[in-house]
A = this chain, B = another copy of it.
Amino acid sequence: MSQQRRAQATRNAILLAAAEEFDRCGYAGASLSSILSRSGVTKGAFYFHFRSKESLAVTLIQARDDVLPSVYQRWRDRGLDPLRTLIGFVDEMIWLLTRDAVVRAGTRLAAESELVGAAPSAGWSTWERVLAGLLVDAQRLGQLQHWVDPVEAARVICAAAAGVQALADTPDRELDGGTRMREIWRYLLCGVAAPEWRDITPCAGDVAT
């Protein structure tokens, strides 16, 4: 391994260990020494990459914030209709929010940004903007029920997704996030998608995954 690649691997190991620790204990509860022992790197190596617990947290929040535009762009590029794009995007984000350590930790830390001392993360309002944009496109194509307000419907879908994430974190969880989100689509799309759109995609929650 070149020196540069080795440095990158060390940095990733630290970030992953930090993500696991923050995800479990929150910002205040996480300890730098636990992160060090989880990652297996020396103190010297750590301080080569990061200044402090705070700088780790800020990096993880940023990593979480960077995921959304790239997932969104990937779904846009598939050229599906706006509603299928929206469902695919949300389902993939749910997968990341419930399974990916870095995204999970970044989300928890963003909710605690006051403690971290970081600028408040755009987080869910970015979701709401992205979803509202897709719903405006869907409305233009006649894919929505006539009573839908795209901004309002975007907030509703966003709250449902946030709930799936929250329930995936509780000790009494019974279902994985993907299954929960599919159940939500089944009921919610009745209020959002035009009947004609639902007729051609009978099991709406499954279409884009």
Residue numbers of A with Cβ under 8 A of B are 24-30, 110-115, 120-125, 145, 148, 152-153, 155-156, 158-167, 169-172, 174-175, 180, 183-184, 186-192
Q: Are B170 and A159 in contact (CB under 8 A)?
A: no
Q: Are B123 and A172 in contact (CB under 8 A)?
A: yes
Neighbour of A124 across the interface among B120, B159, B170, B191, CB < 8 A: B170
Tell me the bound Cα distance from A158 to B112 in angstroms: 24
Tell me the bound Cα distance from A114 to B188 in angstroms: 33
- State the main secondary structure of chain A at its contact with B: helix
Q: Are B169 and A159 in contact (CB under 8 A)?
A: no
Copies of the chain in the assembly: 2
Q: Are A169 and B111 in contact (CB under 8 A)?
A: yes
Neighbour of A29 across the interface among B113, B115, B153, B160, CB < 8 A: B115
- Determine the chain B residues whose CB is within 8 A of the CB of A187 once the complex forms: 148, 153, 156, 188, 191-192
- Determine the chain B residues whose CB is within 8 A of the CB of A184 once the complex forms: 156, 159-160
Q: A159-B167, A180-B159, A191-B191 given as contacts; is B28 within 8 A of A121 (CB)?
A: no
CB-nearest residue of chain B to A119: B171
